[in-house]
Structure 1
Amino acid sequence: MTLTSQNRYAIDPEAAKGFDTEALRRHFHVGDLFAPGEIRLVYTHYDRLILGSAVVDAAPLVLDHMAETGTPGFLDRREMGILCLADAGTVSVGGSRHEMAREEILYIGMGAGPITFETGRFYILSAPAHQSHPTRLIRHAEARRVELGAPETANERTIFQYLHPDVCDSCQLVMGITRFKAGSVWNTMPAHVHDRRMEAYLYFDIPEAQRVFHFMGQPQETRHMVIANEEAIISPPWSIHCGAGTSAYAFCWAMAGDNVDFTDMDMIAMEDLR
């Protein structure tokens, strides 16, 4: 098994103003995330969120230790959410085996022990935890469903909330999926920020010849990055985070920080964006 990891250090908004495209992508974009037979992890210094992947090939993959956490076991002081991106996948943890379908999320509480990815393809998110909550597999039908937007504004979409106070207990990790209806591409406009918590995005189900334009930066100093299928974005707390695609797409969003209330946003008026 191969485990690779990298650090992404926190960048302040004044520094980000001077970044060119290459520098923006080096600090905030995560490409080449999925590799057969590997676990790939990115340790961010935004609320200490870890994002990554596990792609099972010839043999199971075991995640037990990551040097950046400073603990003997990966989950000694952390919780985790795992999104299944394959049609089916199997994850074992704490003596239990979990058979997962596509777009189901497994929540794993602090102290659960090593995680074994037996089969499948997974997106991983982890945040520091202060207490242990029960491990739970959230089926797609169990997610809280929120319909938003309209065809007239090209933002008709469904939000599926999995790791959310109304669905599953967690310490600070909030996680879900947004999927667009055909003909809609915008999320979320008007834009917002939430300086109390960071956010990470994994864009997926983007057709091969299409792209998503992800917008970031302070409201009066915006920047953009062009994103292909199954690439991720690290969004600082001071930054807007919205996007528009050249076709419909989906993304997995996750937050860590002070507040697990999904609606805790500071809205930015359209006329204030620059």
Structure 2
Amino acid sequence: MERRFASHPNEVKQFDTGRLRQEFHVPVLFAADELKLVLTHEDRMIVGGAMPVKEPVVLATDLKELGVTYFLERRELGIINVGGKGTVVADGAEYELNAKECLYVGAGTKDVQFKSADSANPAKFYLNSAPAHKTYPTVKATLESSEFADLGDIKNSNERSIHRLIHANGIQSCQLVMGLTQLKPGNMWNTMPAHTHPRRMEAYFYFELPEDAVVVHLMGEPKETRHIIMRNEEAVISPSWSIHSGVGTSNYTFIWSMAGDNIRYDDMDPVSMKELQ
């Protein structure tokens, strides 16, 4: 498991492109029959991926890093499949996940494994994990069963559907909040006007992006913005003090996840367009 340390905004002002990517960009999440995990000290969120092809992938890591005897001893886990059909096995119970379906796995679950239905079209399980002080039930959700809203318009290039999956009015959790936003064709902007939420961090995972397309992900303090070029199936870590927005050369889909002091989706501090620099 790779470790990323938290950064102070005054320090980040001095970063060049390479250093920004080193600290916040997560370029590889899926490798055949491997578990990829990145632990950030921003609210101790873990961002990861599992792509079983020839054999199951087991949720395991260097437990000394977490100070526990098994991965979910004091953690909860959110999973969204962005590949072919797959199955998550949690303490012997099997949960089938099609593309864009979500599974929340509660703290105290000892054995978690990931399987693909077809090795030629493997499942790709995108993972987010946060510390948990209480056990909530393991629950599956689909986009159809989620709380969702259609927002934006083509005039502002931000017509999109937002699906809230793990949140205060959906799947219950300790502090993990997770959902998915789909931009409609011809639309490129997400989360603009921008906002921050100093009470919790956020991570974005961009996918369904054409091979030759990019998303220019904006980060930094509102008056000290920076950018990171993102490609398909890459993630980015956003500290609590940073905006998190982006514009693509094509429409795309992204998964957003948060961890921190609360699970309110609408806990955010708006940033007016006039403030951005």
Q: Secondary structure at the match of 2:28?
A: coil
Displacement after TM superposition at 1:65 (Å) = 4.1
1:58 to 2:61 alignment: no
1:262 to 2:265 alignment: yes
Letter of the structure 2 residue corresponding to residue 260 of structure 1? I
1:235 to 2:238 alignment: yes
CA distance in 2, matches of 1:222, 1:165: 30
CA distance in 2, matches of 1:10, 1:64: 24
What is aligned with 1:30?
Answer: 26
- Within a 5 Å distance, the mapping from 1:147-158 to structure 2 comes to 147-158=150-161
1:203 to 2:209 alignment: no
Displacement after TM superposition at 1:166 (Å) = 1.2
CA distance in 2, matches of 1:114, 1:121: 19
Displacement after TM superposition at 1:60 (Å) = 0.8
User: CA contact under 8 A between 2:29 and 2:50: conserved in structure 1?
Assistant: no
1:118 to 2:115 alignment: yes
User: CA contact under 8 A between 1:49 and 1:256: conserved in structure 2?
Assistant: yes
Displacement after TM superposition at 1:146 (Å) = 1.1
1:104 to 2:70 alignment: no
Identity %: 48
What is aligned with 1:174?
Answer: 177
> Which stretch of structure 1 is more off in the superposition, 198-207 or 64-73?
64-73
Q: Secondary structure at the match of 1:140?
A: coil
In angstroms, what is the RMSD of aligned CA positions?
0.8
User: CA contact under 8 A between 1:127 and 1:172: conserved in structure 2?
Assistant: yes
1:117-153 alpha-carbon deviations (Å, 9 max, x no partner): 1222211100000100000111221111111111111
For structure 2, the residue ranges without an aligned partner over 5 or more in a row are 117-122
Q: Secondary structure at the match of 1:133?
A: coil
1:56-78 alpha-carbon deviations (Å, 9 max, x no partner): 02111111443321101000000
1:82-113 alpha-carbon deviations (Å, 9 max, x no partner): 11112310110022001111000110000011
4+ residue segments displaced more than 4 Å: none
Comparing both structures, which one devotes a greater share of its residues to strand? 1
User: CA contact under 8 A between 1:37 and 1:61: conserved in structure 2?
Assistant: yes
1:205-255 alpha-carbon deviations (Å, 9 max, x no partner): 000111000000000000001100001000000000000000100100000
> Which among 39, 63, 77 is matched to residue 43 of structure 1?
39
Question: What TM-score, normalized by structure 2, do the two folds share?
Answer: 0.96
Question: What TM-score, normalized by structure 1, do the two folds share?
Answer: 0.97
CA distance in 2, matches of 1:262, 1:91: 26
How many residue pairs were aligned? 270
